[in-house]
Every structure is written in C-alpha cells, then in structure tokens.
Chains A and B, each alone.
Chain A
C-alpha cells in the first residue's frame, strides 16, 4: 500500500475527475437516448468498464444519427 501513498493525489485527481465526467455524461445520455447502434446493455458495459475509450467509442459510433 505504500505505493498508493507515494503518489501525489493532487496531480492525479483532476484527471480522475475529468474521466468521471466523461463517463457520467455518456451514461446519462445512454439512459435518455431511445435507441443505440447495437444493444444498449453492451454499451453500459463498455462505458463502465473500458476506461476512456468506452465512452468515446459510444459517442462516436454508439449514438444513432437519426
């Protein structure tokens, strides 16, 4: 656990917050959107578990352009 203490959280925290914003925006949009490209549950998993790339991928190809 000493490795966790040696890290300066002031440096990493802003980045974690930004990642969280990205994730939350993607999830909120996924809940509100009617239909996605591909099954919705798959996008939930991708957004939650694939860091950064998941939400970005959702915005690029998951949202169906009507």
Chain B
C-alpha cells in the first residue's frame, strides 16, 4: 500500500508539473459554461450578426433550465471525452516509449499498483475538473435561467461521471496494449465513438450499454426519475471498468515481461 501511494504521489507531482491541474479544470469550466451563456445571449448574438431584415421578430422560447444543463453535459460528451483521451493516452504509453516505465519497473514494483496508481491519478484529475466544470455550468444556469435543485445536480453529476470514468478506463486499457500514444488515442476515440453510435442507433436493444448514461442523465434531469434500465447500466459500466482494469494489468504484465 505504501508503494502504491508513492506511485500515486508521483502521478500527482507529474500532473502538477505539466500543468494538467491548471488547464484541465479550466478547459472543463469553459466547455461547461459556454452553452448556458450562448443560449442566454442568443437574441443579442443574432442581432449583432445581422443579416435579418429590419423589423424581423424572432420569438425564441427559453428552454427549460434542465435542458441547458443537459446541453453542457452534451458538450462534455464530445469535448470532455476528447480531453480525457488526450490527457490519458500518453500516461503509460509515453512512459514506455521514453523508458521511464522501464526505470520504474526494474524495481520491485507490482504491475497492478503501477497501473492502478495511474488510473486513480487520472480519475481524480478528471472528476475534480468535471466537478468544477459542471458546478460552473449549474451556477450559470441558476443565475441566467432558473435554479436546478442542488440534489438533482449532484445526482446528475455522479451518474454522468460513471461514463467519463468508463472512457478513462478504456484509454488506460489501450495504454497497456500499444506503445505509441497516438495509436492509444485513436483506438480509444474509435471505441467510444463506435460504442456511442451503436448504442444510439440500437437503443432499444442495447438498453444497458454504458454509452446510454448521458441520455439517462438527461431523462433524470427533466423527469426527476431514472429509467428502469439505469441500475443495470450502472452495474454494467462499473463491471466494465473493473474488467478493463484487470485486463490492462494482465496484458501489461505479459507485454512488459516479454519485452
């Protein structure tokens, strides 16, 4: 356990040194806040862009507050996922390429603590960034439109966080497979996109797919109750995370011993 904390602290130090602790939360805040603000200022934006004939009146109904928070989550589904893959794709692959992994692993460090420490470090960074980002979005929705109950926000936050953790774990898993960060990033993005597309188009067949979590979160925000499939979906996602992590450790052990 002590060894694990040393590796974890090393992760934290590295993330502080390469400014991940600065730019990732800021990026999440900016992504989250963008939608409430542009929705709020849409009439002014249309005005200043112009091109509309004089006297045109556009009646724009204000969308309900939960929908706007959901828009922010939709942005995380795209840019948030992209950022997560970008910051995680070099986590192990980059160290193997540069030889740092070799330096660490000649010491009696277990493969499982090496991988799980990296996973936990990335997870902490993602959750903290995602929390401040969604909190900022919630706050702006509150002051510009209508306050969403904080309890709803927290529940939506945790549910959607499971999907982001799943994406992170997929990237860690591919890290164990490939040596080049670019290939890791590509494989992870491709997996997430395929999963989302397939679950989106066959949503009645794949009710339990983790990619449905974003949709279920939106359903919860507007109706205050989770669909029935939420529980099995959550269990499947958490099970998938554990499975991918164990798979990553096994693959990594095999590859490193062979190399």
Contacts and interface: CB of A to CB of B under 8 A. Distances in A.
Contacts of B30: 15, 18-19, 22, 52
Given A7-B41, A22-B23, A25-B19, A65 B87 contact: no
B123 interface: no
B86 interface: yes
B206 interface: no
Interface string B22-36: 110011011001000
By secondary structure, the B interface counts as helix
Interface in B19-68: 19-20, 22-23, 26-27, 29-30, 33, 37, 40-41, 44, 47-48
A35 to B, nearest CB: 14
A10 to B, nearest CB: 9
B19 A29 contact: yes
B98 interface: yes
Interface in A1-46: 3, 6-7, 11-12, 15, 18-19, 21-22, 25-26, 29
Contacts of B94: 65
B178 interface: no
Contacts of B140: 11
Contact of B18 (A12, A21, A59): A59
Contacts of B29: 18
Interface string A39-66: 0000000000000100110011001011
B44 A6 contact: yes
A3 to B, nearest CB: 5
B257 interface: no
A59 B47 CA distance: 36
A1 B248 CA distance: 58
A11 B37 contact: yes
Nearest to A52: B30
Contacts of A3: 44, 47-48
Contacts of B18: 59, 63
B178 to A, nearest CB: 16
Nearest to B30: A52
Interface in B75-108: 83, 86-87, 90, 94, 98
A59 B23 contact: yes
Given A19-B30, A22-B27, 5 more contacts: A11-B140, A18-B26, A18-B30, A52-B30, A59-B20
Interface of A: 3, 6-7, 11-12, 15, 18-19, 21-22, 25-26, 29, 52, 55-56, 59-60, 63, 65-66
19 contacts: A3-B44, A3-B48, A7-B44, A11-B40, A11-B140, A11-B143, A11-B144, A15-B33, A18-B26, A18-B29, A22-B26, A22-B27, A22-B30, A26-B23, A52-B27, A55-B23, A59-B18, A59-B19, A63-B18
Top 6 A-B residue pairs of the complex, sorted by shortest distance between their CB atoms = A22-B26, A59-B23, A60-B86, A25-B22, A3-B48, A56-B27
